[in-house]
Chain A
Amino acid sequence: MKHTHFAFLALLLSAATAHAQLHAGHGGDTMPGMATPTAPAERGAVPATGTPPHLLFGWAPPVDDRMRFNYVLIDRLEFNTGDTPDTFLWDAQGWYGGDRHKFWWKTEGTHQTQGPSAGEGEVQALYSRLVAPFWDFQIGLRYDRTWGPGPDRDRAFAVIGLTGLAPYWFEIEPALFVSEDGDVSARLTATYDALLTQRLILQPRLDVNAALQRVSEFGVGSGVNDVEIGLRLRYEIRREFAPYVGVTWRRALGNSADLAKVIGGETSILSVVIGGRAWF
Chain B
Amino acid sequence: MNSLSLDRRNFLKAASAAGALAVLNRLTPAYGQSAHSGHGAMPALASMPPTVREIDLAIRRATIDLGGIAASAVAINGTVPGPLLRFREGEEAVIRVANHLAEDTSIHWHGLILPADMDGVPGVSFGGIKPGETFACRFPIRQSGTYWYHSHSGFQEQLGVFGPLVIDPVEPAPYACEREYIVILSDWTFTDPHLIYSRLKKQSNYYNHQRRTVPDFFRDAQRDGWKEAFATRREWARMRMDPTDISDLTAATFTYLINGRPPAANWTGLFQPGERVRLRFINASAATYFDVRIPGLPMTVVQADGNDVQPVTVDEFRIAIAETYDVIINPTEDRAFTLFAETMDRSGYAAGTLAPRAGMTAPLPPRRKRPLRTMADMGMEHGGSDMADMETSNSKKDAHAGHTTASAPAPAAADHSAHGGARAAMPDMPGTPSTEMPSAASPGTVTHGPDKHGAGNSMVAMSPRSRLHEPGAGLEDAGHRVLVYTDLRSLHPRPDVRPPDREIELHLTGNMERYIWGMDGKTFSEAPAPIAFKLGERVRLTFINDTMMDHPMHLHGMWSEPDNGAGAYRPKKHTIGVKPGERLSLDINADAPGFWAMHCHILYHMEAGMFRVVSVS
Interface on A for B, CB 8 Å cutoff? 31, 33-35, 37-38, 40, 42-46, 48, 50-55, 57-67, 69, 71, 99-100, 130-135, 165, 167-169, 194-198, 202, 239, 279
Contact partners of A64 in chain B: CB under 8 A:
154, 607
Q: Which residue of A lies closest to B97 (CB)?
A: A35
Bound state CA distance, A31 and B133, in angstroms?
Answer: 11
Q: Which residue of B lies closest to A132 (CB)?
A: B455
Query: A38-B126, A59-B122 in contact; A43/B117 too (CB < 8 A)?
Result: yes
Judging by beta carbons under 8 Å apart, are A38 and B124 in contact? no
Interface on B for A, CB 8 Å cutoff? 104, 115-118, 121-130, 132-138, 152, 154, 197-199, 201-203, 206, 209-215, 234, 237-240, 455-459, 511, 513-514, 516, 523-525, 528-530, 532, 535, 592-595, 597, 599, 606-609, 611, 613, 615-617
Contact partners of A44 in chain B: CB under 8 A:
115-116, 535, 592-594, 616-617
Judging by beta carbons under 8 Å apart, are B238 and A168 in contact? yes
Judging by beta carbons under 8 Å apart, are B214 and A194 in contact? yes
Contact partners of B211 in chain A: CB under 8 A:
195, 198
Cβ-defined partner of B523 (8 Å) among A38, A65, A132, A134: A65
Cβ-defined partner of A133 (8 Å) among B125, B214, B458, B523: B458
Q: Which residue of A lies closest to B523 (CB)?
A: A65
Bound state CA distance, A31 and B525, in angstroms?
Answer: 33
Bound state CA distance, A57 and B138, in angstroms?
Answer: 21
Contact partners of A67 in chain B: CB under 8 A:
197, 201, 607
Bound state CA distance, A53 and B199, in angstroms?
Answer: 31
Judging by beta carbons under 8 Å apart, are A46 and B530 in contact? yes
Judging by beta carbons under 8 Å apart, are B597 and A165 in contact? no
Query: Can you list 9 A-B pairs, Cβ within 8 angstroms, ordered by A?
Result: A34-B134, A45-B617, A61-B528, A62-B597, A69-B202, A100-B455, A133-B455, A133-B456, A196-B214
CB distance from B96 to the nearest CB of A (A): 9
Secondary structure class of chain A's binding surface, majority of residues:
loop
CB distance from A165 to the nearest CB of B (A): 6
Q: Which residue of B lies closest to A72 (CB)?
A: B202
Bound state CA distance, A39 and B154, in angstroms?
Answer: 26
Query: A43-B594, A195-B214 in contact; A61/B525 too (CB < 8 A)?
Result: yes
Judging by beta carbons under 8 Å apart, are B513 and A165 in contact? yes
Bound state CA distance, A38 and B237, in angstroms?
Answer: 52
Judging by beta carbons under 8 Å apart, are B104 and A60 in contact? yes
Contact partners of A168 in chain B: CB under 8 A:
234, 237-238, 240
Judging by beta carbons under 8 Å apart, are B128 and A60 in contact? yes
Contact partners of B133 in chain A: CB under 8 A:
33-35
Judging by beta carbons under 8 Å apart, are A134 and B123 in contact? no
Bound state CA distance, A53 and B209, in angstroms?
Answer: 41
Judging by beta carbons under 8 Å apart, are A61 and B123 in contact? yes
Bound state CA distance, A223 and B152, in angstroms?
Answer: 59
Judging by beta carbons under 8 Å apart, are A53 and B595 in contact? yes
Bound state CA distance, A37 and B535, in angstroms?
Answer: 22
Contact partners of B132 in chain A: CB under 8 A:
33
CB distance from A140 to the nearest CB of B (A): 20
Judging by beta carbons under 8 Å apart, are A165 and B240 in contact? yes
Query: A33-B134, A99-B514, A99-B516 in contact; A54/B123 too (CB < 8 A)?
Result: yes
